[in-house]
């Protein structure tokens, strides 16, 4: 697996590189450079997604008193990830990271080590029921299914049918009072020249969706009062200097509740 991981770029390690981590290789850094030439705001877009996730789980922990979290498509748990944020609020908070990329799972476990109340395991969102019924989920959360979920950087890589099944199954399993943070690629992404070709080179296929399509797919989850935020700027004032117009034009995010 280590040999193969150095031959092809890996999205988890690309995120790691952008976030200032050390678990990446030259092939990953080259892929980031390619993405930057096609979309100059690429790296800032990735960082903005991370900050959105940080704000979302802070809200869940502080305002909604959630102390249990599951993150999907986690990549590598580099600096400023969920467990660091929520355990600064509640040291007893439990966090389960997951990914379908076994390279990310292996590296993630190595990064986390033996930290209390934090685990990393395999999960393919297309097989969510198997994950929710797993021993590690039972061990981490027992019968308490009031959970804060992260679904950042995943929505755009999953086809409609398995994505809709994922949200329906998760809704049925989760307890009332659960929340999920979601980031999406808007329909204009497919208009950016070279994006499809770059995605193919990285072994990825993306699905851009309108606001209406996203709301339909996540049903029966409901948007919170804040609705959908252009870009990844949920929780920030409309005139925030952090907002990048190019990112706002191509993406959006939201918080949904059970």
What pLDDT is attached to residue 194? 61
User: Is the distance from CB of 72 to CB of 98 less than 8 angstroms?
Assistant: yes
| Nearest one of 254, 209, 203, 246 to 228, comparing CA atoms | 254
Q: Which residues of the chain have pLDDT under 70?
A: 1-7, 190-203
Kindly report the CATH number assigned to the domain that includes residue 214: 3.40.50.150
What pLDDT is attached to residue 168? 98
What pLDDT is attached to residue 116? 87
- Domain carrying residue 37: 2-257
The count of domains in the chain is 1
E strands present in the chain: 68-71, 94-99, 118-122, 148-151, 179-185, 222-230, 251-257
What pLDDT is attached to residue 241? 80
What pLDDT is attached to residue 45? 84
What pLDDT is attached to residue 197? 66
**CA 248/CA 240 separation, integer angstroms:** 12
**Exposure b/e, 22-39, CB count within 10 A at least 16 = b:** ebbbebbeebbebbeeeb
What pLDDT is attached to residue 3? 40
User: Is the distance from CB of 124 to CB of 72 less than 8 angstroms?
Assistant: no
DSSP 175: P
What pLDDT is attached to residue 1? 42
Distance of CA 205 to the CA centre of its chain: 16
Are β-strands 118-122 and 222-230 bridged in parallel, bridged antiparallel, or unpaired?
A: unpaired
Q: Per the structure block, which two tokens stand in for 32?
A: 């980031």
User: Is the distance from CB of 56 to CB of 234 less than 8 angstroms?
Assistant: yes
pTM equals 0.90
What pLDDT is attached to residue 243? 83
């Amino acid at each position: 697996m280590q040999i193969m991981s150095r031959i092809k770029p890996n999205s988890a390690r690309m995120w790691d590189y952008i976030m200032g981590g050390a678990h990446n290789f030259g092939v990953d850094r080259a892929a980031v450079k390619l993405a930057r030439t096609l979309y100059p705001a690429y790296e800032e877009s990735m960082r903005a997604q991370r900050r959105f996730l940080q704000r979302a789980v802070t809200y869940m922990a502080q305002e909604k008193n959630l102390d249990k979290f599951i993150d999907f498509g986690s990549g590598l748990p580099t600096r400023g990830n969920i467990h660091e944020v929520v355990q600064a609020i509640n040291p007893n908070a439990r966090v389960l990271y997951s990914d379908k990329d076994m390279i990310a799972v292996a590296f993630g476990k190595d990064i986390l080590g033996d930290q209390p109340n934090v685990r990393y395991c395999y999960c393919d969102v297309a097989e969510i029921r198997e994950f929710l019924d797993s021993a590690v989920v039972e061990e981490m959360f027992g019968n308490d299914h009031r959970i804060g979920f992260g679904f950042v950087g995943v929505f755009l890589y999953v086809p409609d049918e398995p994505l809709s099944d994922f949200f329906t199954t998760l809704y049925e399993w989760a307890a009332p009072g659960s929340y999920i943070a979601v980031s999406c690629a808007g329909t204009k992404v497919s208009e950016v020249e070279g994006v499809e070709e770059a995605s193919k080179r990285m072994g990825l296929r993306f699905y851009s969706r309108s606001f209406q399509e996203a709301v339909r797919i996540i049903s029966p989850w409901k948007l919170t009062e804040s609705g959908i935020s252009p870009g990844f700027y949920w929780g920030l004032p409309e005139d925030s200097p952090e907002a990048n117009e190019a990112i706002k034009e191509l993406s959006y995010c939201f918080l949904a509740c059970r």
